[in-house]
Amino acid sequence: MSAAAPVSYSVLLNCLTDEDTTMAFEDLLNDPVIQKYLHELVGPTGMPVAAAPPDGEVTDEELAEQLDLELNAVRRALFILYENDLASYRRVRDEDSGWLTYLWTFHYENIPENLESEMYRLLDALENREEYEEINEFYLCDVCSIRFEFGEAMDFGFQCPECGSPLESMDNSMLVDAMQSRIDELRDELNVDVTG
Amino acid sequence: MSVSEIEAELSDDERAGLELIRETGGIHQSDFWKELDVSSRKGSRIAEALVTSDLIKRESAVYKGHTTYYLEPATRDLNFELLMAGDMLSPFIGEEDIDAQSDAFSQWLMNLAYSR
């Protein structure tokens, strides 16, 4: 099973730069991993906001108008970026109306730092999971594609509790090898010393 | 040359300087040489060498009434592709906790092992 193909935002980016909107952080936004990252954070409806950070300050209303989006969708995306240190705001009171205006600034210079810490988090998870994969023995139901630890399989009498098919011993060495090589790559890239 | 190769070629003083800058997250040059316990002249040479190797950034700054430099670790250009398994991004992004047993991570691992 593979995830749905990502929407190409470079097309969208190009449309936007053709207009009079100036856009910052173009190099970062051309990186497909960074596009995926932003998409993961703000979701498809927030993506037009995340994909076109203007240079300097902007209000949520201006963005909604420029991008032809619901104000709520724009605000939602901006607050997600804010929670991830990728945008900040300051509030200004309009002297005539008394309304508060939010002036937003995008901080995509923090993206590399965020992704670096995601690499550390991923490395942690890989190390943790690799140990589990190494010390356990697994049994698989070929019909349901459900995997059981040895103890569970034994409790079920080596029969799948869903369909009754016999559980077969499963070789997870390919999985462990793939994990080990990604762990090595991450350690090397992050300069993590292997101790012990 | 990779960052680790560049770092392997640093002198002991330069390595200590780099570590100080990374630990503090940024330091003024006038504090830098004092912390390292070297002369200001030597501190300045160390900082220059680290700037030339792209390991740190240096910007002029006014600090305690004096013009000095602010030294910061350079953002490393990392290979973010390592967060991907096939076309799947690390499932921990946007998640507060890391669950190494989650279904999403299992799916990611399956992609890693079988999608090449």
CATH code, domain carrying B31: 1.10.10.10
pLDDT band, very low/low/confident/very high, at A191 (cuts 50, 70, 90): confident
Task: Decide if pLDDT at A12 tops 60.
Answer: no
Task: Out of A39, A73, A106, pick the residue that ends a domain.
Answer: A106
Domain presence at residue A196? no
CB A67 within 8 A of CB A97: no
Q: What is the pLDDT of residue A127?
A: 97
Q: What angle do CA A74, A78, A82 make, to 5 degrees?
A: 170
Task: Decide if pLDDT at A1 tops 90.
Answer: no
B7-58 pLDDT per residue, tens: 888 999 999 999 999 888 889 999 999 999 999 999 999 999 999 988 898 9
Q: Based on the domain organization, do B26 and B46 belong to the same domain? A: yes
Q: Based on the domain organization, do A97 and A126 belong to the same domain? A: no
- How far off is chain A from B39, nearest CA to CA, in Å? 30
List Cβ neighbours of A13 (8 Å cut-off, separation of 6 or more).
Answer: A23, A26, A29, A30, A51, A52
Q: Based on the domain organization, do A44 and A91 belong to the same domain? A: yes
Q: Based on the domain organization, do B67 and B108 belong to the same domain? A: no
Q: What is the dihedral of CA A121, A122, A125, A131, to 10 degrees?
A: -130
Q: Based on the domain organization, do B60 and B96 belong to the same domain? A: no
We report the CATH number of the domain holding residue A30 as 1.10.10.10
Q: Write the CA distances from B92 to A105, A153, B110, integer angstroms.
A: 26, 29, 16
Place of tokens 């205006």: A101
CB B5 within 8 A of CB B53: no
A99-146 pLDDT per residue, tens: 899 999 999 989 998 999 999 999 999 999 999 999 999 999 999 988
Q: What domain range is A155 assigned to?
A: 113-190
Domain presence at residue A69? yes
Q: Based on the domain organization, do A58 and A132 belong to the same domain? A: no
User: What is the number of structural domains in chain B?
Assistant: 2
User: What is the number of structural domains in chain A?
Assistant: 2
Domain presence at residue A4? no
Q: Based on the domain organization, do B44 and B85 belong to the same domain? A: no
Segment 109-128 of chain A within 8 Å of chain B by CB: 112-113, 115-116, 118-119, 121-122, 124-126, 128
Q: Based on the domain organization, do B90 and B63 belong to the same domain? A: no
- How far off is chain B from A34, nearest CA to CA, in Å? 8
Q: Based on the domain organization, do B27 and B47 belong to the same domain? A: yes
Domain presence at residue A178? yes
Q: Based on the domain organization, do B42 and B99 belong to the same domain? A: no
Q: Who wins on pLDDT, A12 or A34?
A: A34
Which value does ipTM take for this structure?
A: 0.80
Q: Based on the domain organization, do B69 and B86 belong to the same domain? A: no
Q: Based on the domain organization, do A49 and A99 belong to the same domain? A: yes
Q: Based on the domain organization, do B29 and B55 belong to the same domain? A: yes
A170 burial (CB, 10 Å; 0-12 / 13-18 / 19+) is middle
Q: Which of A128, A119, A40 is nearest to B106 (CA)?
A: A128
Q: Based on the domain organization, do B7 and B40 belong to the same domain? A: yes
Q: Based on the domain organization, do A130 and A184 belong to the same domain? A: yes
Q: Which residues of B touch A188 (CB under 8 A)?
A: 4
Q: What domain range is B93 assigned to?
A: 80-114
Helix axis angle, A71-83 to A32-51, nearest 10°: 140
Task: Out of A106, A136, A160, pick the residue that ends a domain.
Answer: A106
A24: its two tokens: 């910052």
Q: The pTM is what?
A: 0.70
Q: Based on the domain organization, do B42 and B94 belong to the same domain? A: no
Q: Say how many Å lie between the first and final Cα of chain B, rounded.
A: 28
B49-103 pLDDT per residue, tens: 999 988 898 999 999 999 999 998 887 678 999 999 999 999 999 888 999 999 9
Q: Based on the domain organization, do B9 and B59 belong to the same domain? A: yes
Check A37 against B89: CB less than 8 A apart: yes
Check B76 against A116: CB less than 8 A apart: yes
Helix axis angle, A32-51 to A9-18, nearest 10°: 50
Task: Out of A76, A106, A136, pick the residue that ends a domain.
Answer: A106
**Could you tell me the sign of the dihedral formed by the alpha carbons of A59, A61, A64, A67, in that order?**
negative
Size of interface A-B (CB pairs under 8 A): 95
